[in-house]
Amino acid sequence: VLVVAITLGVTLSRKPPQQTFKETFIARCHQYKGSDCETIWSTFEQAYVGRDPCKIPTDAYNPLFQVAPITMTCGKAMFWSKTKDVVHAYNENTKCFVTMEDTLLGSVLDNLIWCGKEGSNETFTSGCPDWNACKNNPVRSFWTQGSTKFAEAACGDATVMLNGSIATPFDTSSVFGSVEVLKLNSAKVKKLTVVLVTATTPVSNCSNESLNELRQKLDRKIGYECKEVSETRINECGSNDISCTNCW
């Protein structure tokens, strides 16, 4: 009995093996119903494996975006900055918009950290440079390049959710502020609507100075509109049958 109890105890306390980065990548790719996930994986890892993790230029991911291109439905592009949770909670329920995380590569790499090391063919998930440690790190270069392609693909009306609970809702150093705004093409994009997500006590409104900077960075031929919408209202739209065109 003692032996059985000990064996059982040891077995139960043994942690399940941790899913490797590659397994997570492949599993998420299959979940997305991606075809040829192994090819996508090997093209992905070629961008950074065996290289100094501060020397991965954005172009390193070009072959990856060729095997798994960013697709877009006109009128549905949704950008965000400092509002990720509210955007995704709303979109998961309504499917009104398409974010970068709704593309195959965006959904596969969301919330992940990865890098390589010189002289190794492994993928590491710790000890990788922070976002701001060096500009050409594997994670930052991926999101920069993906966001470039995502913004270039936008067409019709585009929307961005910005955070009205901070003093500077439009941050020129963010991916939205430094990459996406500049890549919106006036030949395809008619208008950009800012949805400024406000809390009970808003910190900024549509006359915020940073939003003037946004208008300056935006191609003059693209229309602009800003709407203050409470987070409560957005969550309500996500949980009730309020049509995509009726929330704001």
> Which residues are known to be catalytic?
74, 155
Per DSSP, 70 falls in state -
Which whole-number Å values give the CA distances from 202 to 28, 208, 225, in the listed order? 37, 11, 19
Contact window for ligand N1C (CB under 6 A) among 1-9, 37-45, 75-83, 215-223: 75-83
The CB-of-101 to ligand N1C minimum distance in angstroms stands at 6
Distance CA 212, CA 91 (A): 27
191 forms beta bridges with: 157, 223
The CB-of-173 to ligand N1C minimum distance in angstroms stands at 8
| Position among 37, 60, 175, 192 found at the interface with ligand N1C (CB under 6 A) | 175
Distance CA 195, CA 240 (A): 19
Distance CA 100, CA 80 (A): 10
| Position among 25, 48, 80, 170 found at the interface with ligand N1C (CB under 6 A) | 80
CB nearer to ligand N1C: give 41 or 79: 79
The CB-of-120 to ligand N1C minimum distance in angstroms stands at 23
Sheet holding 223-230, edge to edge: 78-81, 156-163, 189-198, 223-230
Contact window for ligand N1C (CB under 6 A) among 6-14, 37-45, 143-151, 187-195: 143-151
Cβ atoms of 91 and 100 closer than 8 Å: no
Site for ligand N1C in 95-134 (CB under 6 A): 100-101, 106, 110, 131
**Using CB under 6 A as the criterion, which residues of the chain lie in contact with ligand N1C when the complex forms?**
79-82, 84, 100-101, 106, 110, 131, 139, 143, 147, 150, 174-176, 180
